[in-house]
Amino acid sequence: MELTVDIIKRRSGHYDVSLVALLDVSGMKIRRIAQLESCVNLLELNLAHNELRSLEELPALSLLRCLQLSNNQLPSLDTLPRLPLLEELTVANNQIRSIDFVELATKLPNLRALDFSGNPLDSSVSAKASKAFPDLFILNGETLTLTRLLEEITTDDFSKSSVTEDDDPVETCVELDDGAAESKDDDIGVKDFINESSRHLEGLSELHRNRTPFVLSCD
């Protein structure tokens, strides 16, 4: 099936497609999406559970914030256009075997949530995605911010306490012992901050996982 202007009007409830902000055309066996260029004010687009094999016809929607493409037949994201304001991209359960995250980051500079679970990708993709998108908040349904914070704290503490070959072992131990009392209160503060952050982030992650996709009824 081809996505037509008439379908867009019926699914959105707008006669003027340029006014459509939310569009849910999921589960309609759509293979072509050539008519979306008229939806210049589109913010959220749900194309999940269709039969898309390419994104070549997807226009560069400059205001789009959320794009749902899960459960299609996409072999790659190479044809995805530049979407400068996109914050959430879901491409779970497709046929994607590789992702160029460096290129993807140039197309999606504002991305905060990415889900590519259920694709035949190797185990290194999560690390590559996290590196390419330093501001990514949620990856495959899991929060990343706390993990990065803990890594930074661990790395920083290790670098401060490292002993070089030129250091005198006895003198170094004395210095570390003297600094232990001073840093004790700081350590408690860091632990409290991490615990509090963890509770907030777990709540946000759960909210994201349970997020109900928008559904617009058809008259």
Q: pLDDT of 153-167, one tens digit each?
A: 555 555 555 545 555
d(CA 151, CA 193): 14
Position 34 confidence tier, pLDDT thresholds 50, 70, 90: confident
Q: What is the pLDDT of residues 65-107, one digit of tens each?
A: 999 999 999 999 999 999 999 999 999 999 999 999 999 999 9
d(CA 146, CA 70): 26
Question: Which residues, other chains included, contact 83 with Cβ-Cβ below 8 Å and sequence gap of 6+?
Answer: 60, 61, 62, 64, 67, 107, 108
Decide if 37 contacts 55 (C-beta within 8 A): no
For the chain, what is the mean pLDDT? 81
Token readout for 214 is: 């928008």
Name 196's bridge partners: none
Give the pLDDT score at 172: 45
pLDDT at 183 over 60: no
Token readout for 120 is: 């035949």
- How many helices (H) and strands (E) the chain has is answered by 5, 7
Q: Please, what are the domains in the chain?
A: 5-140 (3.80.10.10), 145-209 (no CATH)
Write down the pTM of the prediction.
0.71
